Amino acid sequence: MTFAHAARRTGLTAVATGLLLVLAGCSAGQQPNTGKTSQQAPQRGLPNSHVHGLTVNEATGKPLLATHDGLFDLSANPAVRIGSGHDLMGFTAGPDHGTLYASGHPEKGSTLPDPLGLMRSTDNGATWEPLSRQGESDFHALTTTRSRIVAFDGALRLSADGKSWQKVPVSFVPAALAGSPGGEVVLATTAEGLQRSADGGSTWTLNRAAPVLRFVAFVGNNDVVGVEPGGAVHQSSDGGGSWVRRGTLQGEVYAIAASAGTGGAVRVWAATSAGLLESADGGVTFRSYSPS
């Protein structure tokens, strides 16, 4: 193992260790410390200093940022909050446009249980419906596939309907999860490297040939974007099996998203210490996002 490779593993180990500490401390009635993607971010283009997740609506092209104080539409200038101010520690888009899933802690004054368990929105975050595990689970890692929800609250759990869950014994702690919207491939970034499941999270294999990634995001069923703890951007065209180095994100990265661009290109989005950045060439070059 080279020194650079060892350094990348050390960085991701620190992230995973931080996630374990957060999960241990996030019991009912407690507000979480920073963890997963909730690092302190300066107010430079981002509407909130605690970032937990990012997605882009494929139909509208709007980037949505999940934070300590709710969900924000970054296509507005300035960004506007959508719906409640719940602390959305876990956040992901469903396979259907407009469907979102989230977990975390209720906003001050709310009568909802703490933690929130799994919630679903079918109107792009305007309203949320509690589905299950209210008062039990604060899912810090959360994703969906064609047929399942995959979530981590100290244990890896799978659900077909968001209400009943199957616990899957795994030996790793996922810093982030990403699922194929039209298939059953799930990727988990871990301190040991990239874990890959081809059956919706039931079984897992460590991809020792993959770079050590901190964030991953699917575009369609096969294209994946990944970012190392140090900001190096990689792309996979076979569902996370093999990877090609693309470019580098400067500054601290808090969350990423990806969408289909023009001419078959992959569009990459990153919430960073410099604000929201976007790339139209698969992560080779980035520029500041400017709402139209």
> What confidence score (pLDDT) does residue 16 get?
43
> What confidence score (pLDDT) does residue 98 get?
83
- CB within 8 Å of 155: residues ≥ 6 apart: 167, 168
What is the total count of domains within the chain? 1
- Count Cβ atoms within 10 A of the Cβ of residue 217 and give its class: 0-12 exposed, 13-18 middle, 19 or more buried: buried
Residue by residue, pLDDT tens for the chain (292 residues) are 433 344 444 444 444 434 433 333 343 333 333 333 434 433 347 998 799 999 998 778 899 999 999 999 999 989 999 999 999 999 999 988 789 999 999 999 999 999 999 999 999 999 999 999 999 999 999 999 999 999 999 999 999 999 999 999 999 999 999 999 999 999 999 999 999 999 999 999 999 999 999 999 999 899 999 999 999 999 999 999 999 999 999 999 999 999 998 888 999 999 999 999 999 999 999 999 988 6
**Where residue 200 sits, what CATH number does that domain have?**
2.130.10.10
Q: Which domain holds residue 35?
A: 3-288
Q: Is the Cα dihedral 266, 272, 274, 275 positive or negative?
A: positive
* Farthest-apart Cα atoms in the chain, separation: 52
H or E element, residue 14: helix 3-25
pTM of the shown model: 0.87
Distance, in Å, from the CA atom of 272 to the CA atom of 67, rounded to the nearest integer, reads: 13
> What confidence score (pLDDT) does residue 211 get?
98
- CB within 8 Å of 61: residues ≥ 6 apart: 75, 259
In the numeric block, the tokens 């882009």 are attached to 56
> What confidence score (pLDDT) does residue 262 get?
84
Beta bridge partners of 66: 53, 71
> What confidence score (pLDDT) does residue 45 get?
75
H or E element, residue 257: strand 253-260
> What confidence score (pLDDT) does residue 273 get?
93
